[in-house]
Structures are given as structure tokens and as C-alpha cells.
């Protein structure tokens, strides 16, 4: 692809449909890197030829735009689901496996069910339906991009709830990520029940 050329976000879905798959879902997760809270995943089946302005990888969108797209995707999708793996599960089975567990849970919650999944990244261990991994899929596939927005916004909302529960950690500022402020507050107050113990080895 030439520089400046627009990505066709439907190319991969069309290929899958051409192979005979009827309901293709995009799957992505949010919150693999933070020191606290659950990891979130979303799975989304979009209508064919769905055209939602500004649909893109959630990391490339402003918070305001993600919040605007969040209800539109949920209203207009054929099916969508959000699922999590808790901080306890992350500590028990490690973050890679917890990410896959959250993705699998999201896929299994879809109604109607998907018959094929496009998974963001290069790994699909534990995904029980036929699937294909797509590296940087949130920039290449419409349904993965939609899933990335649902996962990210859902997790951000959850971190705001945790901020109200544990105000001393200021989760509303850093969403649990390993920022200088977060480490400073951890040193001051020690970890709370939602911190991932296996992520705090630097402390």
C-alpha cells in the first residue's frame, strides 16, 4: 500500500465471506499493560458494508470520539459482547493467557454466534471457533476496530468506577497504567485488592 492510501477496512471480512463464513466477528482487548484491574475484550459482528465515520483503531482516536462511537457500534452491530479476565486470573495464568481467556469469553457471549473470528495480534491459543490472527488488526479490519473501541471504552468506564472506590490511587488519571504518578502512589499507599501482584515486581 502506498503512503497516504486509505486502508480498505472491509477487505479481510470480504475474504472471509468469500471463503464461506457467514458471521465474522472482530476481537480485540484492552488493558494488557496496566498494573491494576481486569483485562477487557470485545467481540463484534458488524453488518455488511457498514459505514461508520471515524471507525479506526481505538488508540488512534480521541477519548471524545471513542465515547461517541461506543453507543453507535452497540446499537448498529449484528451482535456485540464485552468480557473480562480479572486481576486474580491474570496473576494465576499470566497476562497472555488472561487476554486470550477474555477474548474467548467475549466470542462465546455473542448472540447470534459468530462462525469465524478475526483476532487482533499474532496469537489465538484457546480460541475455540475457526479464526485468523491479524497483526495490527485494529487498523486493518472494521470489526476488529469496532471491538477495540468497545473494549477500550468499557475498560475506561470500569477504571472510573475503581477511581471512586480507591480515590488515593487516582485511577481516573492513568487508568492503572504504569505511570510515574501511579508508581509514586503505590509506594505511598501500597497495593490495593485490584492491583496485579505479578506486575508489581519493580516496587
Fold classification of 11-199 is Nucleotidyltransferase; domain 5 (3.30.420)
Task: Please write the tens of the pLDDT for every residue from 39-65.
Answer: 999 999 999 878 888 888 788 899 999
Asked if 48 and 140 count as a contact pair (C-beta separation under 8 A), the reply is no
d(CA 25, CA 46): 7
pLDDT band at 1 (very low <50, low <70, confident <90, very high): very low
Instruction: Report domain extents, the chain.
Output: 11-199
Taking a C-beta distance cutoff of 8 angstroms, is the pair 41, 29 a contact?
yes
Report which secondary-structure segment, H or E, holds 164: helix 142-165
Closest CA to 72 of 157, 149, 158: 149
Each residue's pLDDT tens digit, 184-202: 999 999 999 999 999 998 7
Nearest residue to 96 via CA among 83, 106, 107, 85: 85
CB 134 within 8 A of CB 140: yes
Contacts of 19 (CB under 8 A, 6+ apart): none
List % helix, strand, coil for the chain (3-state, nearest 5).
45, 15, 40
pLDDT in tens, 97-132: 999 999 999 999 999 999 999 999 999 999 999 999
Whether this model's pTM surpasses 0.85: yes
Residue 73 φ then ψ, to 5°: -60, -45
Cα 187 to Cα 74: distance, rounded to the nearest angstrom: 39
Mean pLDDT of 23-29: 98
Residues 127-186 have pLDDT tens digits of: 999 999 999 999 999 999 999 999 999 999 999 999 999 999 999 999 999 999 999 999
> Residue 4 pLDDT more than 80?
no
**Grid coordinates of 125:** 491459543
Amino acid at each position: 500500500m502506498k503512503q497516504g492510501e486509505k486502508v480498505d477496512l472491509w477487505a479481510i471480512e470480504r475474504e472471509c465471506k468469500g471463503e464461506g463464513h457467514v458471521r465474522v466477528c472482530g476481537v480485540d482487548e484492552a488493558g494488557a499493560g496496566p498494573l491494576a484491574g481486569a483485562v477487557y475484550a470485545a467481540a463484534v459482528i458488524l453488518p455488511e458494508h457498514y459505514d461508520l465515520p471515524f471507525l479506526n483503531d481505538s488508540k488512534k482516536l480521541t477519548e471524545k470520539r471513542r465515547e461517541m462511537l461506543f453507543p453507535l457500534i452497540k446499537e448498529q452491530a449484528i451482535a456485540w459482547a464485552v468480557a473480562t479476565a480479572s486481576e486474580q486470573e491474570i496473576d494465576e495464568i499470566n497476562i497472555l493467557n488472561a487476554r486470550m481467556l477474555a477474548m474467548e469469553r467475549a466470542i462465546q457471549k455473542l448472540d447470534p454466534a459468530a462462525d469465524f473470528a478475526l483476532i487482533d495480534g499474532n496469537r489465538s491459543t484457546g480460541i475455540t471457533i475457526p479464526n485468523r490472527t491479524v497483526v495490527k488488526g485494529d487498523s486493518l479490519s472494521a470489526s476488529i476496530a469496532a471491538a477495540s473501541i468497545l473494549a477500550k471504552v468499557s475498560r475506561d468506564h470500569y477504571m472510573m468506577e475503581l477511581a471512586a472506590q480507591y480515590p488515593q490511587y487516582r485511577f481516573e488519571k492513568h487508568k492503572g497504567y504504569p505511570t510515574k504518578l501511579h508508581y509514586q502512589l503505590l509506594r505511598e499507599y501500597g497495593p490495593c485488592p485490584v492491583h496485579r501482584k505479578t506486575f508489581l515486581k519493580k516496587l
